[in-house]
Structure 1
Amino acid sequence: MHIGINAQLLSYSQSYRNSGVSRYIRRLLEGLAQEPGEHCYTIFINGPQVEEQLAAVARHPQLTYISAPWPEEQPVRRVAWEQLKLPGELRQRRIQLLHSPVNVLPFRLPADCHGVVTLHDLAFLRFPEVLTGPKRLYQRTFTLHSLRRATLIIAVSDSTRRDAIELLSLPAERLRTVYPCIDARFTASQQDEQAVRALRAHYGLESGFILYLGTLEPRKNLDTLIEAFARLKRQQGIREKLVLAGSKGWLYDSIFARVRSLGLESEVLFPGFIADSEQVLWYHAATAFAYPSLYEGFGLPVAEALACGLPVVTSTVSSLPEAGSGVALTVEPRDVDALANALYRALSDEAYRQHCRAMASTVAERFSLRTMARQMRAVYEEALSEKPPEPQQPEPWSQRKEQHVSSLE
Structure 2
Amino acid sequence: MHIGINAQLLSYSQNYRNGGVSRYIRYLLTQLARQPQEHAYTVFVNGQEVIDHLEPHPQITYVSAPWSEDRPTSRIAWEQLTLPTLIRQKQIDVFHSPVNVRPELLPRHCASVVTLHDLAFLRFSHVLTRAKRLYHSTFTVRSLKHATLIITVSDSTKRDLHELVNIPYERIQTIYPCIDERFSNVLKEEKIHSFREKNGVKDGFILYLGTLEPRKNIATLLDAYAQLKQKYQIQEKLVLAGGKGWLYDEIFTRVHQLGLEEAVLFPGFVADSEQALWYQSAAVFAYPSLYEGFGIPVAEALASGTPVVTSNVSSLPEAGAGLALCIDPQDSNALSAALYQALIDQQLRDRCKQLAPGIAQQFSAHAMVEQTIAAYEQAAKIHHQQRITYVQ
Structure 1 length normalisation: TM-score? 0.93
Q: Which position in structure 2 is the counterpart of 1:45?
A: 45
Q: Which position in structure 2 is the counterpart of 1:9?
A: 9
Q: Report how far residue 207 of structure 1 moved.
A: 4.1
* Cα offsets for 1:179-227 (capped at 9, x unmatched): 000000011x431322211221122212421000000000000000001
Q: 2:128 aligns with which of 131, 135, 138?
A: 131
Amino acid aligned to 1:325: A
Q: Which position in structure 2 is the counterpart of 1:344?
A: 340
Alignment of 1:68-79 (within 5 A): 68-79=65-76
Q: 1:66 aligns with which of 63, 66, 71?
A: 63
Q: Report how far residue 358 of structure 1 moved.
A: 1.1
Task: Output the CA distance in 1 between the equivalents of 2:66 and 2:354.
Answer: 48
Partner SS state of residue 383, structure 2: coil
Amino acid aligned to 1:227: D
Q: Which position in structure 1 is the counterpart of 2:219?
A: 223
Q: Report how far residue 28 of structure 1 moved.
A: 0.5
Q: Would you say 1:93 and 2:90 are equivalent positions?
A: yes
Q: Which position in structure 1 is the counterpart of 2:291?
A: 295
Partner SS state of residue 263, structure 1: coil
Task: Output the CA distance in 1 between the equivalents of 2:338 and 2:227.
Answer: 12
Q: Which position in structure 1 is the counterpart of 2:307?
A: 311
Report sequence identity in percent: 61
Task: Output the CA distance in 1 between the equivalents of 2:69 and 2:104.
Answer: 19
* Cα offsets for 1:160-184 (capped at 9, x unmatched): 0000000111111000000000000
Partner SS state of residue 181, structure 2: coil
Q: Would you say 1:272 and 2:283 are equivalent positions?
A: no
* Cα offsets for 1:326-374 (capped at 9, x unmatched): 0000000010110000001111000111111111011111000100010
Partner SS state of residue 165, structure 1: helix
Q: 1:156 touches 1:178 (CA, 8 Å); kept in 2?
A: yes
Q: Report how far residue 277 of structure 1 moved.
A: 1.3
Task: Output the CA distance in 1 between the equivalents of 2:385 and 2:144.
Answer: 11
Task: Output the CA distance in 2 between the equivalents of 1:125 and 1:389.
Answer: 32
Structure 2 length normalisation: TM-score? 0.97
Q: Report how far residue 390 of structure 1 moved.
A: 8.1
Q: 2:203 touches 2:282 (CA, 8 Å); kept in 1?
A: no
Q: Which position in structure 2 is the counterpart of 1:22?
A: 22
Task: Output the CA distance in 2 between the equivalents of 1:356 and 1:389.
Answer: 47
* Cα offsets for 1:5-45 (capped at 9, x unmatched): 00000000000000110000000101111110100000000
Amino acid aligned to 1:114: A
Alignment of 1:229-378 (within 5 A): 229-378=225-374
Q: Report how far residue 270 of structure 1 moved.
A: 0.3
* Cα offsets for 1:148-171 (capped at 9, x unmatched): 111000000000000000011111
* Cα offsets for 1:349-404 (capped at 9, x unmatched): 0011111111101111100010001000000011111226989xxxxxxxxxxxxx
More displaced, 118-127 or 72-81?
72-81
Partner SS state of residue 193, structure 2: helix
Task: Output the CA distance in 1 between the equivalents of 2:57 and 2:344.
Answer: 47
* Cα offsets for 1:258-317 (capped at 9, x unmatched): 000111001000000000111001111111100000000000000000000000000000
Amino acid aligned to 2:283: T
Partner SS state of residue 176, structure 2: coil
Report the number of matched residues. Answer: 387
Q: Which position in structure 1 is the counterpart of 2:166?
A: 169
Task: Output the CA distance in 2 between the equivalents of 1:259 and 1:389.
Answer: 57
Partner SS state of residue 117, structure 1: strand
Amino acid aligned to 2:191: A
Amino acid aligned to 2:381: S
Partner SS state of residue 208, structure 1: coil
Deviant stretches of 4+, over 4 Å: 388-391
In structure 2, the CA distance between the partners of 1:217 and 1:304, relative to structure 1 (3 Å rule), is same
Q: 1:156 touches 1:180 (CA, 8 Å); kept in 2?
A: yes
Q: Report how far residue 60 of structure 1 moved.
A: 1.4
Q: CA RMSD in A?
A: 1.2
In structure 2, the CA distance between the partners of 1:389 and 1:88, relative to structure 1 (3 Å rule), is farther
Task: Output the CA distance in 1 between the equivalents of 2:376 and 2:28.
Answer: 13
Q: Which position in structure 2 is the counterpart of 1:35?
A: 35
In structure 2, the CA distance between the partners of 1:371 and 1:149, relative to structure 1 (3 Å rule), is same
Amino acid aligned to 1:36: P
Task: Output the CA distance in 2 between the equivalents of 1:389 and 1:263.
Answer: 63
* Cα offsets for 1:102-155 (capped at 9, x unmatched): 000011100101110000000000000000001000000000000011100000
Q: Which position in structure 1 is the counterpart of 2:390?
A: none
Structure 2: tracts of 5 or more residues without a match: 388-392
Q: Which position in structure 2 is the counterpart of 1:212?
A: 208
Q: 1:9 touches 1:72 (CA, 8 Å); kept in 2?
A: no
Partner SS state of residue 112, structure 1: coil
Q: Which position in structure 2 is the counterpart of 1:402?
A: none
Structure 1: tracts of 5 or more residues without a match: 392-409
Q: 1:103 touches 1:143 (CA, 8 Å); kept in 2?
A: yes
Q: Which position in structure 2 is the counterpart of 1:194?
A: 190
